[in-house]
Copies of this chain bind each other. A is one copy, B any other.
Amino acid sequence: MTSTPTAGKAGRRRDPEKGAQILQATLDVLAETDYADVTIELVAARAGAGRHAIYRRWEGKDELILAAIACTDSADLGPDGLPDTGTLRSDFLALLDPNWMGGSERRLRILSSVSAMITRTPGAVDAVIKAIVDPSTAAYRFLIQRAVDRGEYAPPHNLDALAQVIPSMAAYRAFFMQQVVDEEFMLSIIDGVVLAALREPSAANR
């Protein structure tokens, strides 16, 4: 990539907005169509840019998409963005709020679009794991651990496995079955699997 002309001397400076707009447009297109249908032309048009503005910043299509994945917004999955309602079950239910579901749905769609890239492009797996998979798992791990810490449940046999239940099953349903991840489905997982696998704390743990 050519360095920004700030270090040099003359010339029009590269618009910092454009880069962000292009990445956002890339994520938008990824969330709407499949990887194979993501054309540079489409991204450029969506960003109100020319193709050169893209190729000036990234080596090619794959680098662009990798960069876009890396800047997927997962702030809502951080400890500070997660609900804290007092009980684990109502924390889970709070995640059904459109406020969070919007981000989840978008991440799911991006995840599925990028899937075709995963087996092909080196680095794609790591980018996806870092930007989407890990934050999701970490969010559920955090909620469960907090419930355990407050004495709501006994420490589970395998926290990591439990934390992946909801992301996995939601992705499987949305992706391979093309069915909506609605409240009814989420409740069936929450009550039928996750909470069922957690035990009341023994007296010794209180």
Residues of chain A having any CB pair with chain B under 8 Å = 33-37, 111-112, 115-116, 118-120, 125, 128-129, 132-133, 156-158, 160-162, 164-165, 167-169, 171-173, 175-178, 188-189, 191-193, 196-199
Contact = CB atoms under 8 A, between A and B. Distances in A.
Contacts of A188: 158, 160-161
A85 B39 CA distance: 53
Q: Which 7 A-B pairs have the closest CB atoms?
A: A158-B192, A161-B192, A168-B172, A196-B197, A197-B197, A168-B169, A161-B188
Contacts of A160: 188, 192
Label chain A's interface by main secondary structure.
helix
A200 to B, nearest CB: 12
11 contacts: A34-B119, A36-B116, A112-B119, A118-B175, A118-B178, A160-B192, A161-B169, A164-B172, A168-B168, A171-B176, A193-B193
A162 to B, nearest CB: 6
Residue among A111, A132, A165 with max Cβ neighbours from chain B (10 Å): A165
Given A161-B189, A165-B165, A176 B128 contact: yes
A169 B164 contact: yes
Nearest to A32: B119
